[in-house]
Chains A and B, each alone.
Chain A
Amino acid sequence: MLLSRIDKPGWIFLGVLALACIVVPGLNLLTAPGSALHVPTYAVSLMGKYLAYAILALSLDLVWGYCGILSLGHGAFFALGGYAMGMYLMRQIGPRGVYGNPILPDFMVFLNYKELPWYWHGFDWFPFAAVMVLLVPGILAFVFGWLAFRSRVTGVYLSIITQAMTFALMLAFFRNDMGLGGNNGLTDFKDILGFNVQAQGTRVALFVLTALALGLAYLVARFMTTSAFGKVLIAIRDAESRTRFLGYRTAHYKVLAFTVSAMMAGVAGALYVPQVGIINPSEFAPANSIEAVIWVAVGGRGTLVGAALGAVLVNYAKTLLTGAMPDAWLFALGALFVVVTLFLPKGILGTLTERLGSRRAKARLPGPKPGEIPPALAEEGRGS
């Protein structure tokens, strides 16, 4: 039943992901480092990072594209997922830190912590950390969404307070008293599930895992948006108060979508951290969240596949440009924001499918005739 709900771009997307899961590891592991076909390990991690961003974009599209909630704080959920994973990775360092303390991470020794803060307990156990990756962003989103949507904070106001939320979290995580590494964040990871995070095999595995997670996130989002739930979400996006008058508790729908979306973003962050090797408070910066919005806008909001595509394209361009012409990147990114909103409001995928779709639709249906009266009524009207 789920399979029938996947559209053509969806199948192409899933196909490309499956292909990447085979080709990229193959070209990395099976070819010689010097050969033309070889994909170096750093590039595998870089692509893994793009895919983690794609999951974030997908989660943002779920709320923005389908429910009209423009969150400028999704970077916070991403970062919280990342911190949960980072805490697990910190505990895996064990006595191999600079100070050699078997319990306390280096920064705690440095800051004269006597014992592990209570919220660090359990993070040495992977299943616990994995649950926290989902729960921490999920609970924050639930509480935040419950408050905001129940009191009908919408549109711009919601965007502004989500931005305030991530900003507040950034300030909080910069504090050393938070016990999460302050300014420097969490880094110097050694192992994940017993495998060396730097090792080629681990990196390839993380890439494949990220690709699978992206596919799964797509399926979840697609399932949600094509169900009756999704129809209500779109109704809320188009005319929230009308939806309410039909008897739907729109706040519940929004909270549910927002929470699921935040959990996805958390997973994205958790996959991102071991591949880049660090998580620090700057991930909470409001600018990051806004940048994620432009990925979605570029690819096409309300298309899911487009959001993922946009994330990969924009970040690939960022890698190219910041390498070649560092000064040009912000000009390009800024221009991208302006050009996409002015000339490409539906994004790449939205514009493409619209072109194809409208050609087909025109062939099938005649245009509406204004003033046409329903035959049943017209008859009865004359009769009475």
Chain B
Amino acid sequence: MSAAIALPTSDPVHEKRLTQALLYVDDIKVTFDGYRALRGLSLTLMPGEMRAIIGPNGAGKTTMMDCITGKTRPDTGQVIFDGLHDLTRMDEAAIAELGIGRKFQKPTVFESHTVADNILLALKGPRAATASLFGWRNRVERERIDAILETTGLVAHRARPAADLSHGQKQWLEIGMLLAQDPKLLLVDEPVAGMTDAETEATATLLRRIARDHAVIVVEHDMHFVRALQCRVTCLHEGAVLAEGSIDSVSADPRVVEVYLGR
């Protein structure tokens, strides 16, 4: 752990918060068998911000997500969430409970559960094994599930096993699960891969709507889609940030942004 930021201590001015940023990623490095997947990546995300991450294959986009969600532990560097929590020391479940939700590149829903049960599992609530044996979901939760199914257009399918859904429907179900989790930060990995233009459009709309009251990081290749998100863009390359800024400035002149980072 580098000493870039001292861990949560007494800082009266900021009420113990180390940074105002919702997510503060500082100089993380990850090596797989000699292959350097991340070479000192830094990123700051403010509360309520939406950010698109672009970059070629192998740029480290997914590995960065893995580091934020606790799947991969970086060799060095810090990932501070909400100014208080060092994510590099927590496991996936703890990070999820802090309020970080993730949608995977390949849609992963629980195939043998019904659509409604998929949402139910994602709903905010106690996660302890012993409690789950006896607790049962109440009416309020049922209403919430209905609302989410409505938003994602899956009402007609609520009793179907998720395995029967089409690819696009699975993508939406996953986004619906993210909504159910109601996280402070959503990580969305290639949400429109394999979607039709109309579906892509609808997904962009949905994400913008979500971004009104959540912070969102979207990883995507599709530049049209990224443009439709109307947000700040970070371009990764070879495990580090190459450029950051508006979609126009990034696509126009990446070197300027590289200087802006002040490495």
- Give yes or no for direct A-B contact (beta carbon below 8 Å): yes
Residues of A within 8 A of B252 (CB): none
Residues of B within 8 A of A367 (CB): 164
Report the separation of the CA atoms of residues A242 and B230 in the bound assembly, to the nearest whole angstrom: 29
Report the separation of the CA atoms of residues A224 and B103 in the bound assembly, to the nearest whole angstrom: 29
Segment touching A, from B27-35, B198-206, B217-225, B234-242: B198-206
B101's partner among A241, A245, A378 (CB-CB below 8 A) is A245
Report the separation of the CA atoms of residues A374 and B172 in the bound assembly, to the nearest whole angstrom: 9
Residues of B within 8 A of A238 (CB): 110-113
A-B contact count (CB 8 A): 136
| Total interface residues in chain A, CB < 8 Å | 41
Whether the pair A376, B150 counts as a contact (CB closer than 8 A) is: yes
A227 touching B136 in the complex, CB below 8 Å, given contacts A242-B108, A374-B151: yes
Cβ of B121 < 8 Å from any Cβ of A?
Answer: yes
**How close is B31's CB to chain A, nearest CB, in angstroms?**
21
Segment touching B, from A109-117, A123-131, A164-172, A247-255: A247-255
Whether the pair B134, A248 counts as a contact (CB closer than 8 A) is: no
**How close is B176's CB to chain A, nearest CB, in angstroms?**
10
Whether the pair A232, B112 counts as a contact (CB closer than 8 A) is: no
Whether the pair A224, B113 counts as a contact (CB closer than 8 A) is: no
Residues of A within 8 A of B169 (CB): 368, 370, 372
Cβ of A375 < 8 Å from any Cβ of B?
Answer: yes
Segment touching A, from B13-21, B42-50, B92-100: B92-100
Residues of A within 8 A of B92 (CB): 241, 244-245
B202's partner among A234, A252, A373 (CB-CB below 8 A) is A373
In the complex formed, the residue of A with least CB distance to B128 is: A252
Whether the pair B151, A245 counts as a contact (CB closer than 8 A) is: no
A368's partner among B91, B128, B164, B196 (CB-CB below 8 A) is B164
Report the separation of the CA atoms of residues A238 and B163 in the bound assembly, to the nearest whole angstrom: 11
A247 touching B127 in the complex, CB below 8 Å, given contacts A238-B111, A368-B164, A377-B206: yes
**In chain A between 337 and 384, which residues have their CB closer than 8 angstroms to a CB of chain B?**
365, 367-378, 380-381, 384
Cβ of A228 < 8 Å from any Cβ of B?
Answer: yes
| Residue with the greatest number of chain A CB neighbours at <10 A, chosen from B133, B152, B165 | B133
**How close is A255's CB to chain B, nearest CB, in angstroms?**
8
Residues of A within 8 A of B159 (CB): 365
Whether the pair A249, B205 counts as a contact (CB closer than 8 A) is: no
A246's partner among B96, B157, B205 (CB-CB below 8 A) is B96
Whether the pair B166, A242 counts as a contact (CB closer than 8 A) is: no
B129's partner among A252, A372, A384 (CB-CB below 8 A) is A252
Whether the pair B122, A246 counts as a contact (CB closer than 8 A) is: yes
Residues of B within 8 A of A121 (CB): none
Report the separation of the CA atoms of residues A337 and B168 in the bound assembly, to the nearest whole angstrom: 38
Cβ of B102 < 8 Å from any Cβ of A?
Answer: yes
Report the separation of the CA atoms of residues A371 and B117 in the bound assembly, to the nearest whole angstrom: 22
Whether the pair B117, A231 counts as a contact (CB closer than 8 A) is: yes
A380 touching B209 in the complex, CB below 8 Å, given contacts A238-B110, A242-B108, A373-B199: yes
**How close is A39's CB to chain B, nearest CB, in angstroms?**
39
B205's partner among A232, A250, A375, A380 (CB-CB below 8 A) is A380
A370 touching B104 in the complex, CB below 8 Å, given contacts A235-B110, A250-B93, A381-B201: no
In the complex formed, the residue of B with least CB distance to A228 is: B132
| Residue with the greatest number of chain A CB neighbours at <10 A, chosen from B102, B117, B196, B198 | B198
**In chain A between 303 and 347, which residues have their CB closer than 8 angstroms to a CB of chain B?**
none
**How close is A115's CB to chain B, nearest CB, in angstroms?**
41
Since A250-B93, A377-B151, A381-B201 are in contact, a sample of 5 more A-B pairs with Cβ atoms closer than 8 Å, ordered by chain A residue number, is A231-B113, A234-B113, A255-B129, A368-B160, A376-B151
Instruction: List A residues at the B interface (Cβ < 8 Å).
Output: 224, 227-229, 231-232, 234-235, 237-239, 241-250, 252-253, 255-256, 365, 367-378, 380-381, 384
- What are the 9 tightest A-B residue pairs by CB atom distance, in nearest-first order? A374-B153, A247-B96, A370-B166, A244-B92, A252-B129, A377-B202, A229-B132, A381-B205, A228-B132
